[in-house]
Chains A and B, each alone.
Chain A
């Protein structure tokens, strides 16, 4: 199976997931808003007027019909209007999304780079002090709350050393990106380093690596070309899962660094109970996650052609 048919088949598998996640957001909305007309008009509102408005807005329809209407609005890109700012939620999200994507990509890039490098170093020095040191740091990275790490980095690199700005977007200046990206990616450096180390240790004992060495290839070629490439699938899986972790950390990191992204929008809206914004941002986070996983699955097929016949990962 080529990449395109694989991608189409995988995309079709996403349909039930997308329906499921819209159903969850719809259910949250139904619980949250209850009866918006009664909420707006109060308990003493004229029952006839209330009934008329409910009919006009389709709120008297069965829930499954309302869900259908909700899906229709989503397909048109209509996420409702912000209670607070009285502007379309889609506009607010479109304004914030680029900052979050920029931060998430930088964080994942940094995590993949540092994690793989640390994992390779640990595997090469397996059983020695360097291995133990790298694995200890990786474990610490996994155990540290992302927002606390962010504040500690601010304290050291911004307040004490003055190398980077304390917070803010800085109109896209890269110096503003470093600390938030490192904070968000740090958790994943640990995971990727641990996974790289263990997958590499597994392939290092394989016959084809012994053959490669016997052929007289340089150790770095053996390690990077033959070893790491064959160990790359579990690492790629982790990078894929990492997109989810990065999105989990986004509301926290963006809050610490006053980063004007989707996460901060979500947190501020949750604090103000601006529910259309909360639910819109939540839905978008899930969509990014689903799409990112889809892209990672496609990358698998590029990395390991055998999977074209097996039908992808899992």
Chain B
């Protein structure tokens, strides 16, 4: 990749139908989240003065996706909810990539005791179903804020990338270019940063893209259970939790936020599939 730069892979990515659709979906959702203050027809948190007339309205011309019990416009709330859901999704993905890659590179490169210790820690964290450990951590922290939720999800999600990068690093450290770098007087840190890390970037990128999807789902799950973001903040998961009460009578309160999550996660998965097809053709059939 470094030899041909990023131009050609980008063109190939755009020619991959799934990846193109996925990328467009993600960009549209990102744009909607960023432009929420411009696009949202109503204030997402303000309870209207004519509450009785606006409460639980069906989708219509005035409120395209209907309103909730407090008369708040669902479309506006979904647009603002996208900000929290995407922020958590991308922030946790970046942090898990950084943490997982660091642990994986060090474990794979130095092997021996460091590897054993890091991998036993990884094994122990991986033994917990991620959402279960996240629920326990959130309960311990007692209704944490958004930043704490991001950190909790990072702590429970980093292990997959650590394992992946460790495997790559273990294989790469035996390669000739690493020996050559040593022979030229390269130091560990430089070899790790200049030679090993760039060669782990492709699987890291694929895994991180899928990670955004699973982080969005994890945040939605936590918020749906009432353990994620707390009011007045909204995320797609908390909108689903609010709407679930009215599932049988006002189903749109559940249908639209769920569609927003599914569409975004689908976009991430399509893009991840595309990255994998292009960057790791061995794994594609």
Contacts and interface: CB of A to CB of B under 8 A. Distances in A.
A205 B47 CA distance: 63
Interface in A140-196: 140, 142-148, 151-152, 154-155, 159, 166
Nearest to B261: A145
Nearest to A140: B266
Given A152-B258, A273-B142, A198 B285 contact: yes
Interface in B104-147: 120-121, 123-125, 127-133, 135-140, 142
Interface residues of A, number: 55
Interface in B130-186: 130-133, 135-140, 142
A237 interface: no
Given A154-B247, A201-B285, A273-B142, A285 B128 contact: yes
A247 interface: yes
Interface stretch (A14-22, A85-93, A304-312): A14-22
Interface residues of B, number: 43
Overall SS of chain B's interface: helix
Nearest to A187: B217
B262 A145 contact: yes
A24 B132 CA distance: 13
Interface string B236-250: 000010001001100
Nearest to A262: B132
Interface string B60-98: 000000000000000000000000000000000000000
Given A154-B247, A271-B227, A143 B265 contact: yes
B103 interface: no
A269 B139 CA distance: 8
B127 A148 contact: no
Nearest to B266: A143
Interface of B: 120-121, 123-125, 127-133, 135-140, 142, 213, 217, 220-221, 224-227, 240, 244, 247-248, 251, 254-255, 258, 261-262, 265-266, 269-270, 273, 285
7 contacts: A144-B258, A148-B240, A202-B285, A270-B225, A285-B132, A286-B127, A289-B128
Q: What 5 A-B pairs have minimum CB-CB distances, sorted nearest first?
A: A20-B124, A148-B258, A270-B139, A143-B266, A247-B129
